[in-house]
Amino acid sequence: MPEVSVNDITLHYATHGHGEPLLLIHGGWGLSINGFHYQEKTLTPEYRLIIPDRRGYGQSTHVVGFGADFHWQHADDLLKLLDALKIDRVRVWGHSDGAVIGAIMAILAPDRLRALVFEGGHLYNRKTESTFQMQRIYDDPDLLPEAARVKLAQYHGEDRWQQVIRNWAGAWIELYRRDGDLYHDRLAEIRSPMLIVHGAHDEHTPSTEMEELKRRVPPSRLVIFPDGGHSLHDQRETREACTQLVKKFLQENP
């Protein structure tokens, strides 16, 4: 994988295709779980996919601990990645934490995002309706299902994957102590066209939270998949329809 130095770290990234740039931002467990493999096969005729390992993930610089504002730090990292790749304007598709990061990029650099796809993301600091037990997983990452542990170890390293999980869970535990939203009440600054895609059965975020997000971001559209979960782009039942919806949205926002 190619790499660039940004801020105080090295970011590794993969590219696929040769068209207009499309930045794909992974969620909290990295590309080993719910990666963009289907999109690598279906979107490359039209787009040059840029898929980085964020700070602390995969082959990028190892870190111990994320701060509560890690989404903002990672957004700045990725804007610096675009600088290094000499990409002035870009379309962004973020999943879960990656969706939050994409929205923050749109706040920090509103002229650089052509369009934003916000999939399976979050609005509030406190995930009061989430069924995922962050403290238990932080204390013992081995409580994750075996299939997930194997993939995490293969991707991040047998001696490193537990720290990846603790970084992520620990940051969300810190965020739970805060009121308000993840965007410092700046969502109204987003000017990029924004497609919010969400699964009705998302175990982390209820659809009502995304309805509120849509209300706070005027140039946005919300599509809820009635049979979808947290990872529409990777879920076998929804990945084709989700990808075609995103493709149409991106074509409508050149």
Q: What is the pLDDT of residue 131?
A: 65
Please state, rounded to an integer, the average pLDDT across all residues of the chain.
96
The CA distance from 122 to 141, in Å, is 22
Query: Tokens 């102590």 correspond to what residue?
Result: 177
87: which 2 tokens?
A: 């990409």
Q: How confident is the model at residue 65 (pLDDT cuts 50, 70, 90)?
A: very high
Work out how many domains the chain is built from and give that number.
Answer: 1
61: which 2 tokens?
A: 């610089």
Tell me the CATH number at 70: 3.40.50.1820
User: Containing domain of residue 143, as a range?
Assistant: 3-252
Q: How confident is the model at residue 128 (pLDDT cuts 50, 70, 90)?
A: confident
Query: For 212-234, what is the mean pLDDT?
Result: 97
Query: Tokens 């497609």 correspond to what residue?
Result: 195
Query: For 126-151, what is the mean pLDDT?
Result: 90
Any bridge partners for residue 12, and if so which?
3
The CA distance from 12 to 161, in Å, is 17
Residue 127 has pLDDT above 90, yes or no: no
